Structure 1
Amino acid sequence: MTQDTQMNKHQLGQLIGANRRDHYYELHYATGEVARFYILGDGIFHYFLDPDKSFNENHTSFVDLSRFDNHFFEKSSARATSDSLIIQSGIYQIIFQQKPALMSIFDENLHRTRMTQIAPIELDKDQTTEFLKQNKNEFYFGGGMQNGYFSHKGRRINIKRDKITGKDGVLTQVPFFWSNAGFGELRNTVRAGSYDFGKSDKSVTALTHTSKVFDNFYIIGNSPTVILDKYYLLTGKPLMLPKYALGLGHIGNFITTMWQPSQAKKRNASRFDNNSYYTRTNDPKKVSGKASLNGEEEYQFSARAMIDRYQKLHFPLSWFVPNYGVQDVDQDSLATFNDYANNQDTHAGFWSNQAVTEPSPKTAFIMTNTSFSKVLDKDQQSLKTNLKRKRPLILTNTGTAGSQNKTALAFGDTGGNWENIPTQIASFLGSSLSGQPIVGAAIDGTNGGGNAQISIRDFEWKAFTPLFFNIDDQGTFSKTPFAYNSKMTQINRAYLQLRNQLKNYLYTLIYKAQTGDPILRALFIEFPHEQVNYTSQVGNEFMLGPNLLISPITNGREDSNGNSRKDNLYLPSHRTMWIDLFTGKRYLGGRVFNKLSYPLWHLPVFIRGGAIFDLGNRNYILYPQGRSEITTYDDNDFNDFNHNHTETKITSDFESSRLTVTIDPVKGDFNGMKTNNSTNLNIMCDSYPDRVTVRINDQTINMQEYGTPDTFSHAKEGFFYNTDYTWLPEFNQYQKEKQTALQIKLASRDITDSKIEVIIQNFNYGNQTLVHSITDSLLRAPKLPTVDPTKITAHSFELAWPQVSNQVQVEINGLLYDGIDGTSFTFHELTPNSRYIIRLRYVAGNKVSEWSDYFGVITKRAAIDYAINNIHVQSNLDSNKDHPLNYLTDLKLASEWETNESVSEDKPLQLTFTFDELEKLSRMTYVPRNVDHKGDPTSVGIEISSDGEKFASYGDRLTWKADSKNKVVGLRDVTAKAIRLTIYKSSGPIVAGREVMFFRAKK
């Protein structure tokens, strides 16, 4: 009987017994299973159920259990009640209910259950499923890089890499998730999985893996940082980047790329050193120049010339991969190139799709396509041998649980696409929340591209991400930061200089990531008490550390002046002041701003009130608000950073009109550290202060005031009230108005033995910004606004009202929308099929009217809801292995299918789409691919079948243009079991497309 249950799908039976062993508790179930329960640490538990009872603790490489001792297990205790076994570990009670067999974890400090199973574990010969109770306000994160998403409540995600780099793809297979209820789970398996966070049933989370073994780690923590830190205890801390990796990188193919002459008017033409234009080609007959590492062919097409070009145009390169996608490289030529790159202060890397046993001399890092632990271990060891004490770096385009300890995630996508920007923002956040904080994506993608505005906007926001690089030579368009005109090159150069200013800030964040603090942060990490911050509504913006909020431009909408139009910009916390990084304009948080306008040079970046930035060499910028502090880190870039680094704590305390800034003595040391240094404070302010007092180790020093920038610049010590201040000189050409700051300069002292305290009286900064609106009874409340039902879509609706004042504020589902004028406004980027509760009030200066009555709007269902799933497709021609046929019907617009063979009238392509059942249709949509239009169908025929066997023509043959527009075929009143699409001609040698979708008729 037991054997039968093991071979068939069943639930875990009643708990019938338990024993305490040497280092685990043994649990026995009525259905014959035996499980082991380990206590590895404070709030780290391991439940292992193996139907074969072999209990191989090292069946995966995620967790090194040898690092955990028996300490916490020995301190635990167990007791039995009439219906449960309760294991006590510290403040946690792990409760194993007997019948049904359910597990829950109770926190005695909070006096609430952290997690509980809602049904017994389901077992099958090839899969296991755990069912958890899902609470109404419980949100879920993790699962690896789920492209386009970071918050998963109400969604189902796949734990299986599919190599699709765009939206709905899965780049990293990480069987780890966590909940804001304060628990996480790591499934110890390399098998594929599916996590349903309430899509099928809002009250249930169902977690499935295709493994008969149920091997699971439970993590309890009071914050995301604690949960991620404990996850790192299990799987390894994130890679500590070498400092050069924070600079600009170039990844290219200088082995097989070929060039042909072109003209300046060609959009994809690149200008070279001989002032002639060239485009890439794969046709040997058209080649006039070939790439090489050192100029073995023609110097201007070489990797060395590319380094020269970056330097000449003032884009100093920090790192370089010269053989992307090509394994076969002459090692002598590579060694010569590495020497040259090293002399130019550029770190040379090597691309390989297999383990590199002996890197060429001066190879600083390796780029690969794998996450296999054995390959990564070999690569890491070979780099350590090569680099001696310097840190190894491995870049890869995939990952799994634990790979964050060895690799950084770097990938590319199809460029020239606005959709990539919001998709990658959410993807980066999701990666960070999955324990993989070191991440970057190629600027403007790999192939595709050609849209200058998208390229510039992509460069701007990626300057605020951990890795900053481009991947070139994979398509027809160049991806360098100087690929477009001089105006755009200047903008890119300014953002690179800004990134260099922030390197110390970034480096500190990388240190903090070692203990669970994400680098790129979803808003709820810093503002956990606002529910909106846990949702996709704010998934288009992020925090870089605690002090910078970035809200990238994500579409091509423009105002009447040609500037980017920005709506739905949310700044959290009504108690927080936010300062535009470039203009100094201040905003009160806790609201959504609309109708903002940003020129091409201006990325929406906001500094959090209270922020402190370390610009390097003890040069600090402060934006005082309340009490705040930072600790900055530094080291000598060796791999022993844990024991050889410095920490500097800076505190700002602004209360009433008194500001106190404290810089503690530097703690720690490292080889090559500079112990004597001067200190510069640049404190943003609104008016001239009364008195500045500086104390060094509690001793007051005399401070001279200087009246001009020149005299202050030559002084060793003193202060200067600067009304024309900026710490971003590279943006002076765009922003003429400067800001006001109190600058303080302190002479060189022993920074390890000097506590600096600065006290400023009558200090004022942001006092007017933090004033809230006053309700004015003379400003009458608005009558009920109106919504035109014909203008309601799945993602938007238009609201109209009688004009009484110049501006209005609208509250939608409790969130305040500001910056709205006129008599109507269209709210967009909404969730389909959702109810929005709305009210409105008039605004006049800092006065507001009473609110209108509440009313509601329900958005329409998304078109994709009517698309048919699980379509079976067959083709008479073979498909490209990297772009398989199933991509054509997977309902993922980021995946692209293409044939291996060409089509003709004599040999047309036949695609047969079969549905699971007879379907009443409304239309078919053929979505052309993004990368180019060389494989678009141009002559097609359609046939209909009601039984899947006999087909009849549907209308005449269709002629389609080769462009980016979707091709829609009306199928109203058509009922079909299958549809055949015959393609007689295409715009290129093959046929390609993103998707073929069939839509049901609306009921």
Structure 2
Amino acid sequence: MTQNTQIERHQLGQLIGANKRDHYYELHYSTGEVARLYILAEGIFRYFLDPAKNFDENHSSFVDLAQFDNSYFEKSKPKATSDSLIIQSGNYQLIFQQKPAVMNIFDETLHRNRVMQLSPLELDQNQTTEILKQHKNEFYFGGGMQNGYFSHKGKVIEIKRDKITGKGGVLSQIPFFWANSGFGELRNTESTGSYDFGKTEADATILKHNTNVFDTFYLLGNSPKDILAKYYTLTGKPLMPPKYALGLGHIGNFLTTLWQPGEAKERNATVFEDGNYYTRTDNPEDSNGKASLNGEEEYQFSARAMVDRYEKQHFKLSWIVPNYEIQDVNPEAMASFSDYASSRDVNAGVWSGDETPKTAPDTPFIQTTSSNPKTLKDDAIILRDNLKRKRPLIFSNTGIAGSQSRTILAFGDIGGNWENIPTQVAGFLGSSLSGQPLIGSAVDGTAGGGNAQISIRDFEWKAFTPLLFNLDDQGKFSKTPFTYNSKMTQINRAYLKLREQLRTYMYTLIYCAQVGEPIMRPLFLEFPHEQINYTPQVGHEFMLGPNLLISPIVNGREDGNGNSRKDNLYLPNHRTMWVDLFDGKKYLGGRVYNKQSYPSWHLPVFVRGGSIFDLGERNYVLYPQGHSKMVTYDDNGYNDYSRNHVSTQISSDLEASKLTITIDPTQGDFSTFQTENTTNLNIMCDGYPDGLTVKINDQVINMQEYGTVDTFAHAKEGFFFNTNYSWMPEFDQYQEKKQTALQIKLAKRDITDSKIEITIRNFRYGNETLVHAITDSLLRSPKQPTVDPDKISSHSLTVVWPQLTDKVQIEVNGILHDGIDGSSFTFHELVPNTRYTLRLRYVAGNKVSEWSDPFGAITKPDPMNYAINNIKVTSNLTSQKDHPLEYLTDLKLASEWKTVNGVSEDEPLELTFKFDQLEHLSRMVWVPRKIDHQGDPVEVSVETSTDGINFKPYGDRLTWKSDSKNKVVGLRDVSAKAIRLKVYKSSGPFVASKEVIFFREKKD
């Protein structure tokens, strides 16, 4: 009996015994299994069940157990009751029931369970399953970079890597998740798996891995920071990069890229130094120019020329990879190029694929496609030997648990479409919540492109991410930030300058990431008490640290003036003031803003009230509101940071009209640190404050007021009320109106021995913004707002109302929407098959009417609910390695299938799609590839089968256009077990598709 249960699928049997060994508890079950429980630290427990009873405790490639001693285990106390084994560890009780054999972890300080198993573990020779209790307001995060998603409640995620860079793809395989209720799990396995966070059963989390060993770490903490810090305790802290990694990077192929003459009218043509236009080509016969590292072929096509080009265009280039996807590099040529790049203050690294490269002695960094711990360790050793005491840097386009300690996740998607932007924002957040905070993706992708507006908007928001770079030479279009016209180039240049100004802020965030604080943060990390912040509704926005909220432009919708139209812009917390970074306009939080207009230069970026920025060299900018503080960090950028850095704390306290600012003495030291330094403060305000007191180490400093910009610029110490202030001069050209700030300048002092206290009286900033609207009884409440029944879709609905005032506000499921005018408004980005309850009120200035009676509608079901899953597809043609046949029916529009060879009338492509059962169909949809129109089928036929063996023609041959439109074949009233599609002619030397989707008929 026991032998059979070890092979066949079964639940873990009754707990029948337990022993306390030298460093673990041993648990025995009636079905023959033995498990071990390890108590490693406060809130870190390991449960290890090995059917083979080998118990290789150190089998993991990504968990470091050497750091744990036996002290927490020795302090633990077991207690047996009539139905359970209870192990006390600090404030936690690990409760193992006898029957059924489930485990709960009870927190005595909160008087509730942190973890509850709903049923015993399910085991078989190929898979293990754990089922946990899921609560209504429990949200789930982690699982690696799940492209397009950061919040997983109600979803199933796959724990794997599939190289799909678009929505639905998974770039990093991280068997780690956590919940906002205060627990996480790290499965100690390299096997693939799936985590069902309530999609199958709303009150259950179902965790599966394709292994017969169940080895997991339970992590408990009172905040996301605590849980991530415990994850880092097990797998390693994030890499601390050298400072140059924050600068602009360029990745390209300067070894095999070929150029041919082009014309200015061609969208993909690039003008070179000789004044002529060229385009890339794969055909050596068409080319008259070849790339090289040092100009061995022709200077203008060389990597040296690209370095010079960035300098001429006034873009500070920090790092470059010149051999992307080319393993074989001439070491002498590479060394020569590295020397040249270094002379221009550019760091030249090498691409190495999944192998450990042979590097020149001064190679500063490596770009790899590997996540293998041994390969990454070897890479790091090589770089440490090269760099002596300087920090190594490795970029990788994939990841596993633990790789955050050795690599920055850097990849390129296809690019050139709007959907990439919200997909990547949510994916970056998901990566951050999975323990990989250092991440970046190529601006405008790789092979796609050609749309200047998408490119510019992509550069803008990525200027606020940990990594900013271009990946060139992989498609038709150039990807440099100066590819398009001078207007676009100027905008990109301004954002790069802004990024450089925020370098100290960004660097401080990287320090904070070491202890579990993500760099890019979903809104709930800063505003945990608003449920909306845990949901995908705000997945297109993020906080960069605690101070900046970025809401990228994610579509091409425009207003009447050609500016980007922004709807669904959520600013959290009704007690928080948000300030537009660029024009200084103030907004009240706790609501969604709609119909906002943003010209090409203007990215929606908002400063949180109370923010403090260090622009470097003790040049501070403050946006006072309430009480806030900031600790900034600095070091020399390349040596060991843990013992060689400085930190400075600045606090701001605004009560009524009195503002107090305190700058504590700087702590720490590093080589090249200057203890004597000036201090400059730029304090945003709304009017002239009349009372400034400055104390340094409790001594009052006499402060002189200056009346002009010029006199203040030459002063060593004093203050100036500036009504034309801007700390981002690159953006001054786009707007006439500047902002108002009180500027204070303090002379050089020993900043390690100077406590600065500044008091300002009669201080005003944002007082009017924080006043809430007044209900006016003279404004009658709306009587007839409705949802137009003819304009309801799965993702949108339209509200109409009798117009009485210019503006209205609409509350949608408890969230206030502002910025709405006219007599109708369409809400987009809604959840399918969801009830929306609305109220509407009129707005006149700062006065509002009473709310209307509630009204609402249910969005239509998602059409994809009727798409058939698990279709088995076969082909008579071989598929390309990176575009396998399974991509054709995976229901992910980001993946792409492609054949190796083309088709002909005599040898057509035959695709056979088999369903699990006889399906009653409505239609078939062929989704063409978007990157170009090569490989589109243009002549096809369809056959149907009710038994999966015998096929008969369905209608006549079809002729399809080679374009971006989906090709739909109506299959109403067709019942089939299989469909065969034949392609006799395509638009290129192969056949390709994003997806083939079969829809079953809708049931009433």
TM interval, shorter chain, is: over 0.9
Aligned residue number for residue 513 of structure 1: 513
Aligned residue number for residue 119 of structure 1: 119
Aligned residue number for residue 814 of structure 2: 814
CA contact (8 A) 1:936 1:962 kept: yes
Higher mean Cα deviation, 700-709 or 776-785? 776-785
> Counterpart of 1:66 in 2: which secondary structure?
coil
Mapped partners of 2:950, 2:358: distance in 1: 61
Structure 1 residue 381 and structure 2 residue 381: aligned? yes
Structure 1 residue 758 and structure 2 residue 764: aligned? no
Mapped partners of 2:45, 2:534: distance in 1: 26
Structure 1 residue 598 and structure 2 residue 598: aligned? yes
Higher mean Cα deviation, 738-747 or 727-736? 727-736
Mapped partners of 1:488, 1:46: distance in 2: 54
Q: Aligned runs of 1:495-644 on 2, under 5 Å?
A: 495-644=495-644
Aligned residue number for residue 788 of structure 1: 788
Structure 1 residue 805 and structure 2 residue 808: aligned? no
> Counterpart of 1:693 in 2: which secondary structure?
strand
Aligned residue number for residue 747 of structure 1: 747
Amino acid at match of 2:298: E
CA contact (8 A) 1:579 1:587 kept: yes
Q: Aligned runs of 1:576-975 on 2, under 5 Å?
A: 576-975=576-975
If the length of structure 2 is used for normalisation, what is the TM-score? 0.99
Mapped partners of 1:413, 1:65: distance in 2: 36
> Counterpart of 2:148 in 1: which secondary structure?
coil
Aligned residue number for residue 457 of structure 1: 457
CA contact (8 A) 1:355 1:376 kept: no
> Counterpart of 2:647 in 1: which secondary structure?
strand
Aligned residue number for residue 132 of structure 1: 132
CA contact (8 A) 1:355 1:378 kept: no
> Counterpart of 2:349 in 1: which secondary structure?
strand
Mapped partners of 1:678, 1:963: distance in 2: 62
CA contact (8 A) 2:786 2:856 kept: no
> Deviation per CA, 1:616-637, whole angstroms, max 9, x where unpaired?
0000000000000000000112
Mapped partners of 1:408, 1:36: distance in 2: 35
Mapped partners of 2:532, 2:6: distance in 1: 45
Mapped partners of 2:210, 2:909: distance in 1: 36
Amino acid at match of 1:591: R
Aligned residue number for residue 166 of structure 1: 166
Aligned residue number for residue 94 of structure 1: 94
Change (3 A) 1:119 1:784: farther
Amino acid at match of 1:400: I
Amino acid at match of 2:369: N
> Counterpart of 2:227 in 1: which secondary structure?
helix
> Deviation per CA, 1:966-986, whole angstroms, max 9, x where unpaired?
111211122222111111111
Structure 1 residue 31 and structure 2 residue 42: aligned? no
Mapped partners of 2:7, 2:571: distance in 1: 55
Aligned residue number for residue 216 of structure 2: 216
Mapped partners of 2:872, 2:219: distance in 1: 41
Aligned residue number for residue 992 of structure 1: 992
CA contact (8 A) 1:342 1:362 kept: no
> Deviation per CA, 1:272-328, whole angstroms, max 9, x where unpaired?
110111011010100100000000100100001000000000011100000000000
> Counterpart of 1:851 in 2: which secondary structure?
coil
Mapped partners of 2:228, 2:661: distance in 1: 32
Aligned residue number for residue 258 of structure 1: 258
After TM superposition, give the deviation of residue 955 of structure 1 in Å. Answer: 2.1
After TM superposition, give the deviation of residue 961 of structure 1 in Å. Answer: 1.5
> Deviation per CA, 1:82-130, whole angstroms, max 9, x where unpaired?
1111111111111111110111111111111111100001111111110
After TM superposition, give the deviation of residue 931 of structure 1 in Å. Answer: 1.7
Higher mean Cα deviation, 464-473 or 775-784? 775-784
Amino acid at match of 1:641: Y
> Deviation per CA, 1:901-920, whole angstroms, max 9, x where unpaired?
01122221111111111111
Aligned residue number for residue 401 of structure 1: 401
After TM superposition, give the deviation of residue 948 of structure 1 in Å. Answer: 1.9
Structure 1 residue 59 and structure 2 residue 56: aligned? no
Mapped partners of 1:181, 1:251: distance in 2: 42
CA contact (8 A) 2:568 2:593 kept: yes
Mapped partners of 2:723, 2:379: distance in 1: 53
> Deviation per CA, 1:728-772, whole angstroms, max 9, x where unpaired?
100111121100000000000000000011100000000000001
Higher mean Cα deviation, 801-810 or 348-357? 348-357
Mapped partners of 1:626, 1:600: distance in 2: 33
Amino acid at match of 1:995: E
After TM superposition, give the deviation of residue 962 of structure 1 in Å. Answer: 1.3
Amino acid at match of 2:422: P
Mapped partners of 2:88, 2:450: distance in 1: 61
Structure 1 residue 286 and structure 2 residue 273: aligned? no
Change (3 A) 1:90 1:5: same
Q: Aligned runs of 1:315-394 on 2, under 5 Å?
A: 315-356=315-356, 358-394=358-394
Mapped partners of 1:827, 1:348: distance in 2: 48
Identical-pair percentage: 72
> Deviation per CA, 1:446-469, whole angstroms, max 9, x where unpaired?
111111110000000000000000
CA contact (8 A) 1:115 1:181 kept: no
> Counterpart of 2:753 in 1: which secondary structure?
coil
Q: Aligned runs of 1:418-497 on 2, under 5 Å?
A: 418-497=418-497
Higher mean Cα deviation, 22-31 or 645-654? 22-31
> Counterpart of 1:491 in 2: which secondary structure?
helix
Mapped partners of 2:782, 2:873: distance in 1: 56
CA contact (8 A) 1:16 1:28 kept: yes
> Counterpart of 1:371 in 2: which secondary structure?
coil
Amino acid at match of 1:159: I
Moved over 4 A (4+): none
CA contact (8 A) 1:295 1:302 kept: yes
CA contact (8 A) 2:786 2:855 kept: no
> Deviation per CA, 1:216-268, whole angstroms, max 9, x where unpaired?
00000011011000100000000001100000000000011110000011000
After TM superposition, give the deviation of residue 188 of structure 1 in Å. Answer: 0.0
> Counterpart of 2:144 in 1: which secondary structure?
coil
CA contact (8 A) 1:580 1:606 kept: yes
Mapped partners of 1:9, 1:77: distance in 2: 34
Mapped partners of 2:938, 2:361: distance in 1: 52
Mapped partners of 1:380, 1:357: distance in 2: 11
Mapped partners of 1:357, 1:910: distance in 2: 43
Amino acid at match of 2:819: G
CA contact (8 A) 1:501 1:615 kept: yes
Count of residue pairs the alignment pairs up? 1003
RMSD: 0.8
Mapped partners of 2:568, 2:164: distance in 1: 28
CA contact (8 A) 2:677 2:749 kept: yes
Mapped partners of 1:630, 1:291: distance in 2: 48
Amino acid at match of 2:666: V
Amino acid at match of 1:577: M
> Counterpart of 1:706 in 2: which secondary structure?
coil
> Deviation per CA, 1:109-154, whole angstroms, max 9, x where unpaired?
1111111100001111111110100000000000000110000000
After TM superposition, give the deviation of residue 357 of structure 1 in Å. Answer: 5.5
Change (3 A) 1:407 1:997: same
> Counterpart of 2:4 in 1: which secondary structure?
helix
Amino acid at match of 1:95: I
Aligned residue number for residue 82 of structure 1: 82
> Deviation per CA, 1:617-662, whole angstroms, max 9, x where unpaired?
0000000000000000001123421111000000000000000111
Uncovered stretches (5+) of structure 2, i.e. residues with no partner: none
Mapped partners of 1:1001, 1:919: distance in 2: 9
Mapped partners of 2:53, 2:15: distance in 1: 17
Mapped partners of 1:974, 1:125: distance in 2: 41
Mapped partners of 2:87, 2:730: distance in 1: 61
